[in-house]
Every structure is written in structure tokens, then in C-alpha cells.
Amino acid sequence: MPKRARKTRETSDPIEAALALAAERSWREVTLEMVAERAGLTLAALFEAYSSKAALLAGFSRRIDSQVMAARDQALADRPAHERLFDVLMRRFDALAPHKEALRSILRGSLGDAEAGLVGACLLRRSMAAMLEAAGISSSGPCGALRRKGLALVYLDAWRVWLSDDSPDMARTMKALDGHLRRIDRLIRLVRGRARPEPSDAPRPA
């Protein structure tokens, strides 16, 4: 008796399905069942891969991190750190650009949600470590932790500008990001200059 051919059904990406729904309605209204239906999956199949909306956002964040790191420009390896970080973060904004409306909805829908805030903080810390590494800057150890925190503050402020920046060249975003990175670079150079030991033949203060 001949075997029956197994029916297959192509499915779309659950993460893309969630983002599409977020762009159409409030993120608070989006459910896993809606995501499964949009992606052409059963709820059980979706739940096995992504057990919550937070898991979907985590998957999206990791995907963006990977895209930015894969597009690393080796030609910038010898450039100053702030230029490398500028390039990396602008590539991140380029990768996020197709999903800007969805991200606006997700931000509005996450306000006041403690769980979403905690998840977002964890994702931000991971992403900033990835961006530092993509720029050729270590994210490890105590110094790396400080770098992650400092870059997170820069990124969040630039991200706030980017959300309302609808210009084709992202001029406002680039200006905000460049300004922050240059100020941090000047501060680091100033601190390093003050931390240099005095020459042995320098007159000692009374």
C-alpha cells in the first residue's frame, strides 16, 4: 500500500509576525495566539519556540545583534574608538529601521510593565556588549561593565531621537549619537591625561 505524501505548509517567521502585529495595533493587545495565526503555526508549536512575547522580543534583539556583528567593517579597525562605535550603532539603527512603527508600539505598550522593563534591561546589557565587541572594544571585566553602562546611556538617548527621526538620512540621530560619543571620548582623554604619573624630575608640590 503506497504511503501517503506528507502535507507540508510553509510558515512565516514568528518574530516577523509579532512585529507586523505590533505595527498594526497596540502591543498590549497582541497575544501569542494572534502571532501563531499570523505565522501559520499552531499555538503549541509557537509556544515551544517562544513561550512569551518577551521571548519573541529577545529573539528579535539577538537577531539584530547578529546582523550588526556580521556586517562589521574591518576597514575601520584602525580608526578611533568613538568612530567605530558610531559606525556600529548607526548600522544597528539601519537594521531596526524597517521595524520602527512596531518598536514605537512595543515601547508604548511596555510602559509601566515591570517585567518588560527587567527583560529590556537584560537585553540592552547583552546588546551593548555585542556592540562593543563589534567595534573591537572589550566588554569583559569591571572596565567592560562600565563601558556597557556608558554605551547604554548613549544608545538610549540616541534611540529616543531615532524613534521620532523620520528623515531619510537620519541626520538628527547621527548628530545626537556623534555628539554623545565625542563628549565621552574627550572625557576619557581628559581623565587619562590627569592620571599620568608626574615625571621623576618634576618639582614636587610644597
Angle between helices 100-110 and 141-164 (to 10 degrees): 110
| DSSP three-state, residue 88 | helix
Higher pLDDT, 199 or 29: 29
Q: Give the chain's mean pLDDT.
A: 85
- Predicted confidence (pLDDT) at residue 188 exceeds the cutoff of 90: no
Instruction: Give which of 162, 161, 155, 159 is closest to 181, Cα–Cα.
Output: 155
Per residue in 85-117, pLDDT tens? 999 999 999 999 999 999 999 999 888 778 788
| DSSP three-state, residue 26 | coil
Return the top range by mean pLDDT from 1-10, 23-32, 67-76, 187-196.
23-32
* CA dist 79 → 32, 83, 94, 156, 195 (Å): 45, 6, 21, 24, 24
Q: Where are the alpha helices (DSSP H) in 111-170?
A: 114-134, 141-164
Domain 14-192 has CATH 1.10.357.10: yes
Those residues with Cβ within 8 angstroms of residue 56's Cβ, 6 or more apart along the chain or in another chain: 14, 15, 18, 35, 50
pLDDT at 12: 82
pLDDT band at 191 (very low <50, low <70, confident <90, very high): low
pTM of the model: 0.81
First to last CA, the chain: 103
CB-based contact 127:60 (threshold 8 Å): no
Nearest-angstrom CA–CA distance, 56 and 60:
6
Domain ranges across the chain:
14-192
pLDDT at 71: 84
pLDDT at 75: 76
pLDDT at 192: 59
Instruction: Give which of 166, 131, 163, 167 is closest to 149, Cα–Cα.
Output: 131
Can you tell me the mean pLDDT for 42-47? Answer: 96
Per residue in 22-35, pLDDT tens? 999 999 999 999 99
Per residue in 144-177, pLDDT tens? 999 999 999 999 999 999 999 988 889 999 999 9
